[in-house]
Structure 1
């Protein structure tokens, strides 16, 4: 009997078991609350980043412009003020801006908290095509990209049958002109080519030089290279 009473007394009281259950219940409730709070926080952050105007575009900064106007670049970019920064499609903006003939390359990026940056690299003129009422500037690839009212005095005139980047004669003429030393290139007044192997230059003073002889001093050369 004594042994039975001792065993009975050694059992934990029922109130202690209930307390443990309550503590376990509170712990589970706290864990659930933390999970719910975390989910709500993630949703709130996602809303702020992707849908709210609080982190929307407030400024668009454009750099690298020379001939292009900032207004023309901004129109092509099509980035509306207030658009959530992370929802701006920078790749699409780059494609639109690259449609401008003067643009050789462009990079559109984001700068937290609310700025879009546009870095433009414009084409560099190497020659010009004379036309009615003005001239078209031409870059090293043979692309005509910008109209001016008067032919530039510091650039040579390009005289070709079919001036365009895919034309072999255009490629040859621009490659020779681009490869010239700067001092010699400054002397060139006219560049023409009837075929890729027939590039000719007219230098200041009227000397005509074949492309194969385009080097410093070639303007004074005698023989088949000059005439």
Structure 2
């Protein structure tokens, strides 16, 4: 029995061997027709991209047809368009927005401008006009001065509510700096600002009062001290040294 069992073992072991995997044939690449289709597709994509780029960059199809001006009051939209000098039909992508903004800012009343491209053919110019904070009365008219101290426009008569500026040229910017830093309630009391030098600024207030300011240094503190002093009787309020203010 043992001899027969030993003879059967090799046959049993041979049956348990894993079956052979079928051999794979050679890997075939894409057919000639597939290669041609891919190449044609790539060429078509390149042609479409080229056509789009040429249309956007070189043709007036997406060119400027309208210039929309916003934010103007003293200026007219036509004045801004003329200054912008945007050639009709200029492709939007080729429009030099910085150059357009620089030309518009040459208008004395313009403090700033934003240039926007709005496809298919609109350029929007949003203008920030200067606001006057004071006026210089001269023989040729009333000169409007903005918060930067720029004399930017001349009108026939001074607008109501603006303080007069009777200051030396070198004191103009410091005097305007005082006006723009004091509280609104105090600013409404100011009828005029005078200064022979940057260190000798004086505010003419309502009811015949005067505030001697000195330089524009420490203006917020001087304004706080002056608001307290104005509750007292007096005509001259000296806050040029806010640590030692006087009323007379």
Structure 2: gaps (5+ residues): 1-27, 215-221, 239-246
Q: CA deviation at 1:37?
A: 0.8
Corresponding position: 1:83 with 2:62:
no
Corresponding position: 1:98 with 2:110:
no
Cα offsets for 1:20-53 (capped at 9, x unmatched): 99x7322222122112111111111011111222
Structure 1: gaps (5+ residues): 1-19
* Range that drifts further, 214-223 or 64-73: 214-223
Does the CA-based 8 Å contact 1:209-1:218 persist in structure 2? no
Does the CA-based 8 Å contact 2:209-2:234 persist in structure 1? no
Corresponding position: 1:31 with 2:43:
no
Q: Partner residue of 1:218?
A: 230
Does the CA-based 8 Å contact 1:61-1:117 persist in structure 2? yes
Give 1:151's match in structure 2, choosing from 122, 144, 158.
158
Q: Partner residue of 1:7?
A: none
Which runs of structure 2 are paired with 1:7-156 in the superposition (5 Å)? 24-156=31-163
TM-score (norm 2): 0.74
CA distance in 2, matches of 1:154, 1:43: 61
Q: CA deviation at 1:138?
A: 0.2
CA distance in 2, matches of 1:194, 1:160: 6
Q: Partner residue of 2:3?
A: none
Q: Give me the CA root mean square deviation.
A: 2.3
Q: Partner residue of 1:186?
A: 188
Larger Rg computed on CA atoms: 2
Q: CA deviation at 1:184?
A: 2.1
Q: CA deviation at 1:142?
A: 0.7
CA distance in 2, matches of 1:182, 1:117: 34
CA distance in 1, matches of 2:200, 2:73: 34
TM-score (norm 1): 0.80
